[in-house]
Each structure stands twice: as C-alpha cells, then as structure tokens.
Chain A
Amino acid sequence: MMGLVLTLTAVALALAAAGAIIRIARGPSLLDRVLAADVLLAILGAALCIDMAVNRHLNNLMLVVAISIIGFIGSVTVARFVADRREQPSEP
C-alpha cells in the first residue's frame, strides 16, 4: 500500500511543483513570483515529510522547520522592499 501512496503523492507533488514553477516564470509581478517560490518551498517541505513518514525516521524535521523559516524571512523581506520602493521613491 505504501508504494501506491508514494506514487500518488509523488505525482501530486510533481504537478504542484510544476504549477508553482510556471507561476514563477510567468508571474506578472515580483510579488507573484515570491508567493510562488514560497509555495514551492512548502511543496519541498511536504516531500521531506512524506519521506520521513514512509521511511520512518525524523532526520528531515529540522530541515522542514528551516525551510519554513527561510520562506518566511524571504517573503517578508521582499514584501517590505517592494512596498518601500514604490511608496517612497526618493528615500535614500
């Protein structure tokens, strides 16, 4: 049964990653791309979780937490940068 689950989740995650990458490539604005990159990181985290569940170990757990924090810091930084540049163009 685990083999079937692994196939199903692999297909779903691969399609999801493809969708996120298409949005990164096409996304009209920088924020769209950041959002899609965030989703791509979440998909990566999901893949790591599934690896842990199927192979019954916990080696990736800190990696999952680190990925979520990287996604958080990245999107917050970019969002601030975008907002400030547009809002106060003359600021040094």
Chain B
Amino acid sequence: MNPEPNTVDAVIDAVSAVFMVVGALMSLAAAIGLLRFPDLMSRMHAATKPQVLGLFLLLASVGLQLRTWWVWPVLLVAWIFQLLTVPVSAHMVGRAGYRTKHLHKELLSKDELEAVVQKAAKAARESEADDGGNRTAR
C-alpha cells in the first residue's frame, strides 16, 4: 500500500530506538538523583521519573516494534496501572519521611506544613485519650 514500506519501517525503527535510549537514560537519571540529592524527599522526585516517563517511552517503543493494533490497549493498561500506583506509593513514603523527620530543615526555603503539624501534635497531646494520628485523611 505504501510506496516505500522500507522507509516507513526505517523511520519507525529509528523512533523506537530513540525512545528506548531515552527511556534507559531516565532510569540512569533516577539513579544519579538517588546518589546526588541530599535528603529523602528530593530523592523521591528523582525516583518517580523512570516509572512514569521512562516506562511510557519503553512501552511506546514496544508498541512501535510489534506493529499490531491490539497491543496498544494492553500497553496503555500497563501504563495506567503505573500511573495509578506511583503517586500513592510516593505519597506514602513521603508522608512517612516527613513525619519521621527524615528531612533536612535547613534545605527548605519555606515549610507551611510544620506549623499545622505542631498545632495538631499539641492538640493530640492535650487529648491523650484519642488516637493522635487521625487528624488528616488517611
């Protein structure tokens, strides 16, 4: 159908090759971020990256290489699973990190949560009978 199927093939191959290399670089970037950033919270920003953009690029290159329409919904479902789970785990780890003081205060230019947390902690101490952790949505 196409006048020059070989050219189209070559373009698709080149695009998927670029996607693969960039996707692998995203993993490398996450590792560099893990090693270079000073505290848990900034490391988390680096860690979410290969799981969102990197996986997207790699799944797209799989789809381009297979060249059949029915793999696209499968790949999309795999990616959406990732999109739904990554923020939740990042939030849970980040929240635990903030509460257990795994963050360097001197690296923050502004902290608008601290006052709220301290107020809530004081309130929790005053009403000892109750479970102190329930002040926010879980």
Contacts and interface: CB of A to CB of B under 8 A. Distances in A.
Within 8 Å by CB, do A and B touch in the complex?
yes
Interface of A: 1-2, 5, 8-9, 12-13, 15-20, 22-23, 29, 31-32, 34-36, 38-39, 42-43, 45-46, 49-50, 52-54, 56, 58, 61, 64-65, 68-69, 71-72, 75-76, 78-80, 82-84, 86-88
A39 B34 contact: yes
B55 A46 contact: yes
A68 B16 CA distance: 22
B99 interface: yes
Nearest to A41: B51
A49 B59 contact: yes
A66 to B, nearest CB: 10
Given A5-B21, A17-B31, A46-B23, 12 more contacts: A13-B27, A16-B24, A20-B30, A32-B43, A32-B102, A38-B47, A50-B23, A53-B62, A61-B74, A65-B78, A71-B89, A87-B132
B133 interface: yes
Interface residues of B, number: 52
25 contacts: A2-B13, A5-B21, A8-B24, A12-B24, A12-B25, A16-B27, A19-B34, A20-B31, A20-B34, A31-B100, A35-B44, A39-B31, A45-B55, A46-B50, A49-B61, A50-B24, A53-B20, A53-B64, A54-B65, A56-B66, A65-B78, A68-B55, A76-B88, A79-B93, A83-B96
Contacts of A31: 40, 93, 96-97, 100, 102
Q: Kindly list the 9 A-B residue pairs having the minimum CB-CB distance in the complex, ordered from nearest.
A: A19-B31, A49-B58, A9-B24, A79-B92, A16-B31, A72-B85, A12-B24, A83-B96, A16-B27
A16 B28 contact: yes
B89 A42 contact: no
Q: Determine which residue in A49, A68, A78 has the highest number of CB atoms from chain B within 10 A of its CB, and name it.
A: A49
A68 B81 contact: yes
A84 B51 CA distance: 27
A35 B24 contact: no
Given A5-B21, A50-B20, A82 B100 contact: yes
B113 to A, nearest CB: 15
